[in-house]
Structure 1
Amino acid sequence: MASAAILGISGLAVIVTLVWVLTVRPEWPIRIVAVIGILLVPTLGLWSVRMARAEDRAARLSGQEPSTE
């Protein structure tokens, strides 16, 4: 549970930083990369949560304990 909190806080920090870059930097290529990053960070976070839940569900159905790594 602690790792989820750390990942959530770090993801939020990355998004805040990218929003700052988006508002401060005048160059369009940098702004485009920032927008892509703003969209990519939550997407990857949600994808990793779905993968972890699927692995946990598969381990429970097979009778194995999920790993704590």
Structure 2
Amino acid sequence: MGKLISDNWINIDEAAEYLGVKAVTVRTWIKKKNGIPAHKIGKQWKFKCSELDEWIKSGKSAID
């Protein structure tokens, strides 16, 4: 059970760690609406690792 399941919901801090960037960078990406797969749940942004992986593979993460 100790493994991270790729479809678990994670928060901004965990997404930043997963992507190797700072949380402020993830927040900036959300504000710029550059396609990062973020979901607003209540007042918090949540992410699925599998969606982040697909976003990176698609090349959209490299677009400013």
**Please, what TM-score do these two structures have when normalized by structure 1?**
0.22
Structure 1 or 2, whichever has the larger Rg, is 1
- Looking at both structures, which has the greater relative contact order when contacts are Cα pairs under 8 Å and sequence separation is at least 6? 2
**Structure with the higher fraction of residues in strand conformation:** 2
